[in-house]
Structure 1
Amino acid sequence: MTACPALFLSAPASGQGKTTLTAGLARLHRRAGRRVRVFKTGPDFLDPMILAQASGAPVLSLDLWMVGGAACRALLAQAAREADLILIEGVMGLFDGTPSSADLATAFNVPVAAVVSAKSMAQTFGAIAFGLARFRPEVPFHGVLANRVGSARHAQMLQEALPADVRWLGHVASDALLELPDRHLGLHQASEIADLDARIERAADALAPTALAQLPPAVDFGDVDHVPNVPRALEGRHIAMACDAAFSFVYPANVALLEAMGARVSRFSPLADEPAPANADAIWLPGGYPELHAATLASSTRSAHSLRAHLSASKPLIAECGGMLWLLDALTDTQGTRTPMLGLLPGVATMQKRFAALGMQQLDSAAHGALRGHTFHYSRVSTPLDAVLTARNPNTGAPGEALYRHGSIVATYMHAYWPSNPAFAAALFHGTAF
């Protein structure tokens, strides 16, 4: 048996304060000397950065489709062997998406604590809590916490509105000093929030008097050792990964997989104009925020020269989303400012004021099978290139993101979760995927 206290923090919608309070709760238990492991539901890069800083440990993704049920259970069982507490932050609302946070919590019998922003709300709080608790009776509902509460009297009204069998977990007062700043793709990156630790500590203090701060029930995740058959297909390969505020959207599980397959992963910063190592066998440009750093990237001549030298030697370069934008001829922001990019991939990108694509994606290759991941971006690309593969939405079957090949470049908007298909990932970094 692999049992550990575990709690799933969800909400009726995005923007309720889940990440802030999950981070605060992780820090509160860490301050008490407990080893805390936090997971994030679904595809996300920004929340895990904050949760990792709060907990002091890497934050991995859980998703019944993208990661897979068996792999999710194995990750939870491994964490249960090492930790004193497991926290899982949900995505969007409790029942949103296919699969949803409710599906994940039910699959592993993890009690759900709902965070509900009570700003501009009184007795309706009880109706929302009632719906969350009763909509699907099989969901292991633990209770509800009111966030952004205006006063002690407000909290009393909220508690009195609850059905008798829905547990009140307490409340957190409105406090701008613990809220986390956000932008178009979500929260700011952890490294960009100068007072992040102070905000996390403040959230921990606010949660200390609530019932949410008590250790939740232990959950048995089973004695599962799901060790995938990962071939040492990248043995001796050196992969250089762009890594800075412009290129930071990376699943820790992707890096771990490359290393498990024998690769050495090094990092370089285009924003610091660092060159990619000349002895790298492959380069990886992850997604991120190139649009926020376009002028700096345009002047990163040493980095640009190293990428051109790498491609002139016909070595593989894998670019995802923001990494792909840097390779294009130009990037235009929402104010109409056009900035030249590397010019290594024909085409231009234009930033939009609302998202251009959002959802799960699957690439199907005749040679390597299915690779799973997701897409979320605010830009549109115009290119003369034809797609060598086109992803599809696994829920609707609708065509999704294109995957382009240009020389030894492979580029796409799709953020792939490489453990879903290690052979496909290895082929990408060998330049033999197609």
Structure 2
Amino acid sequence: MPRCPALFIGASASHQGKTTVTAALARHHARQGRRVRVFKTGPDFLDPMILERACGSPVYSLHLSMVGLDACRAMLAKAAREADLILIEGVMGLFDGTPSSADLAAAFNVPVLAVIGAHGMAQTFGAVAFGLARYRTDVPFYGVLANRVASARHAQMLAEAIPDGLRYCGHLSNADDIALPERHLGLTQAQEIASLDARLDRAADAIATTSLGELPPRVEFEDATLDAPPRLLDGMRIAIARDTAFSFIYPANIDLLIAMGASVTTFSPLADEPPPADTDALYLPGGYPELHVATLASNACTRASIKEHVARERVVVAECGGMLYLLDTLTDIEGNRHAMLGVLPGNATMQRRLARLAMQRLDTAHGMLTGHTFHYSTLDTPMQPQLTATHATTGAAGEALYRQSRITATYMHAYWPSNPAAAAALFRGESL
């Protein structure tokens, strides 16, 4: 069985600095010449962009439900055979959600480093650390790191509050200037942070002063592989919109398209680029079209080429922000309405309040397709759903999936490796 040093970075809650710490560890060890593989727990597009920049390799999702136990096992085994260090960033608080970060750490016996934002806290830090370490006996616990520490005296109080038997790994200071900027969906995209590499280097310098500068213990992973998917897209040419407006893409989804025989290219609607003329199918992923709505509305070349693609009854798969781009209009947060492509009837409106956040499952003719939804817009459309997803744990009604001609559009971000046959049907323009 492959063995590799591994650490799971969890936290007491969201916004404690998990991504900053994971990125700091990745950059620190990569600077030592080590091959670092980083994974992110659950559905996320933004954190992996930062982590990929820190370690230099694509960051894949692990999730016992969305990705599946067998696929998680195979990805970790592959990483353990190739890497010098495996890092897994958790999601939310360590025990939040079903399945939780703790469930994932326990499933693969990866020791947990708990990151606790210590601002506004002193001796209570020890109680929180104790609770995280002892709440479940099946979760291996490595130690605790204090983040956003105000002063040397503050750091001393935190260290003294740790109960006997718990490892205190040190602290990161507010003065380190390493916090990552955020916006409404989470962290700012990596390509939009001009100082990102300098920030990551400062974070790596800071983590090197803690006990985490050394490699964690080796973990034994079960040797596992997955069968290659059937070549259901042999010869198909797929063009993917990819820029800062359309960037919410799982690396595993693109891997699957290629493994099923498709050739994949990218184009930028923000740069007014057309997809290749011989494209069989377009993929318009989610992202931040609302932040670039005026540019998208005025870029005539991309607009004309996509409308021509649709007029030729070629396939389009659009998720979340990609779907908004296809609508008649998109109203921004200030109330300004902008014309979009107008190939799907409907109008979307951005709002400051979260519209929906949930794990999703879509029951198709090919079986279950998993994914998630996370958006701040609402949709007014006369289109009727072809299918409706359900909440992954409660079974409540979830996102609609719309079909018009050979366009499939939905708010749901699907994880295609959960059902390759359903993914292939999407790109062949077939009904699910």
Q: TM-score, normalised by structure 1?
A: 0.99
Corresponding residue for residue 298 of structure 2: 299
Corresponding residue for residue 236 of structure 1: 235
Whole-angstrom CA distance in 2 between matches of 1:46 and 1:178: 17
Q: Establish whether residue 16 from structure 1 lines up as the match of residue 13 from structure 2.
A: no
The 8 Å contact of residues 424 and 433 in structure 1, kept in 2 or not, is answered as no
Q: Establish whether residue 195 from structure 1 lines up as the match of residue 209 from structure 2.
A: no
Q: How does 1:377-388 map to 2 (within 5 A)?
A: 377-388=375-386
Q: Establish whether residue 373 from structure 1 lines up as the match of residue 365 from structure 2.
A: no
The 8 Å contact of residues 145 and 212 in structure 1, kept in 2 or not, is answered as no
Whole-angstrom CA distance in 2 between matches of 1:33 and 1:269: 34
Corresponding residue for residue 431 of structure 1: 429
Secondary structure of 1:401 counterpart: strand
Shift of 1:433: 2.9
Letter in 1 for 2:88: I
Gaps of 5+ in 2: none
Shift of 1:176: 6.3
Whole-angstrom CA distance in 2 between matches of 1:136 and 1:175: 34
Q: Establish whether residue 63 from structure 1 lines up as the match of residue 63 from structure 2.
A: yes
Whole-angstrom CA distance in 2 between matches of 1:40 and 1:294: 29
Q: How does 1:139-150 map to 2 (within 5 A)?
A: 139-150=139-150
Corresponding residue for residue 53 of structure 1: 53
Corresponding residue for residue 399 of structure 1: 397
Shift of 1:378: 0.3
Corresponding residue for residue 283 of structure 1: 282
Shift of 1:432: 1.2
Shift of 1:333: 1.4
Whole-angstrom CA distance in 2 between matches of 1:325 and 1:432: 22
Corresponding residue for residue 352 of structure 2: 353
Letter in 2 for 1:18: K
Corresponding residue for residue 94 of structure 2: 94
Q: Establish whether residue 312 from structure 1 lines up as the match of residue 311 from structure 2.
A: yes
Whole-angstrom CA distance in 2 between matches of 1:137 and 1:55: 31
Whole-angstrom CA distance in 2 between matches of 1:384 and 1:93: 39
Corresponding residue for residue 419 of structure 1: 417
The 8 Å contact of residues 143 and 169 in structure 2, kept in 1 or not, is answered as yes
Whole-angstrom CA distance in 1 between matches of 2:61 and 2:431: 25
Corresponding residue for residue 250 of structure 1: 249
Secondary structure of 1:88 counterpart: strand
Q: Comparing 150-159 with 72-81, which one deviates more in the overlay?
A: 150-159
Secondary structure of 1:293 counterpart: helix
Whole-angstrom CA distance in 2 between matches of 1:415 and 1:201: 32
Whole-angstrom CA distance in 2 between matches of 1:145 and 1:197: 23
Q: TM-score, normalised by structure 2?
A: 0.99
Letter in 2 for 1:191: Q
Whole-angstrom CA distance in 2 between matches of 1:116 and 1:214: 20
Letter in 2 for 1:100: S
Corresponding residue for residue 338 of structure 2: 339
The 8 Å contact of residues 238 and 265 in structure 1, kept in 2 or not, is answered as yes
The 8 Å contact of residues 176 and 202 in structure 2, kept in 1 or not, is answered as no
Letter in 2 for 1:7: L
Secondary structure of 2:265 counterpart: strand
Shift of 1:289: 0.2
Secondary structure of 2:97 counterpart: coil
Gaps of 5+ in 1: none
Shift of 1:408: 1.2
Letter in 2 for 1:358: L
Shift of 1:177: 2.3
Whole-angstrom CA distance in 1 between matches of 2:386 and 2:70: 31
Q: How does 1:59-138 map to 2 (within 5 A)?
A: 59-138=59-138
Letter in 1 for 2:325: W
Secondary structure of 1:384 counterpart: coil
The 8 Å contact of residues 176 and 203 in structure 2, kept in 1 or not, is answered as no
Secondary structure of 1:8 counterpart: strand
Secondary structure of 1:104 counterpart: helix
- CA offset digits 1:169-211 (Å, max 9, x no partner): 0111113621110000000000000000000000000110111
Letter in 1 for 2:232: A
The 8 Å contact of residues 16 and 117 in structure 1, kept in 2 or not, is answered as yes
Secondary structure of 1:307 counterpart: helix
Percent of aligned positions with the same letter in both sequences? 67
Corresponding pairs, count: 432
Corresponding residue for residue 320 of structure 2: 321
Q: How does 1:20-39 map to 2 (within 5 A)?
A: 20-39=20-39
Whole-angstrom CA distance in 2 between matches of 1:33 and 1:150: 32
Q: Superposition RMSD on alpha carbons, in Å?
A: 0.8
The 8 Å contact of residues 329 and 345 in structure 1, kept in 2 or not, is answered as yes
Whole-angstrom CA distance in 2 between matches of 1:228 and 1:303: 38
Letter in 2 for 1:350: T
Whole-angstrom CA distance in 2 between matches of 1:335 and 1:124: 42
Letter in 2 for 1:382: D
Shift of 1:422: 0.2
- CA offset digits 1:276-310 (Å, max 9, x no partner): 11100000000000000000000111111111111
Secondary structure of 2:175 counterpart: coil
Whole-angstrom CA distance in 2 between matches of 1:297 and 1:18: 34
The 8 Å contact of residues 233 and 262 in structure 2, kept in 1 or not, is answered as yes
